[in-house]
Amino acid sequence: MKIAVIQGPNLNMLGIREQHIYGPMSLDQIHEQMKGSASQNGVELEFFQSNLEGELVDRIQECLGTVDGILINPAAFSHTSIAIKDALSAVNLPTIEVHISNIYKREEFRQKSITAGSSTGVITGFGPFGYHLGLIALTQIVAEVKAVEAQQTEAQAEVAE
């Protein structure tokens, strides 16, 4: 199973920026923790971070046919990007949106996620542990999707006989 982990703007500054909101862990430290959990479960992770909306859209589109699911933190683009929402809808892959902070306890403009409408689920407010929760959820969802697809293929083969 392969999962793309896509990180949005300013997340490269984790560990430096607003530690009272985002905590002291760097993005690299979060990714290292994720790698440990993923390897224990036979999951391959591909990491990508950009501060540019178009690069995030391109990376989401590149996921089609190359990964089984997407774990994304669109960061500030969650609240503004119809382009990212549309890209997630277009690839139609199981997607978990993660936010380190609880967006519902933040400024009003952060309390609505446009991109969440194209996600399978959203995890918010658990700090860096939210990535672990998202990985668990996405692994389960992808396994269920693959099981259903296998059953459908088997049923079609039986009908063809």
Active site residues: 22, 99
Return d(Cα 46, Cα 147) in angstroms, integer: 23
Q: Which of 3, 4, 10 has the alpha carbon at shortest distance from 100?
A: 10
Q: How far apart are the first and last CA of the chain?
A: 30
Half-sphere exposure of 18 (CA within 13 A, CB side): 8
- Contact (CB, 8 A) for 69 and 5: no
Return d(Cα 138, Cα 33) in angstroms, integer: 16
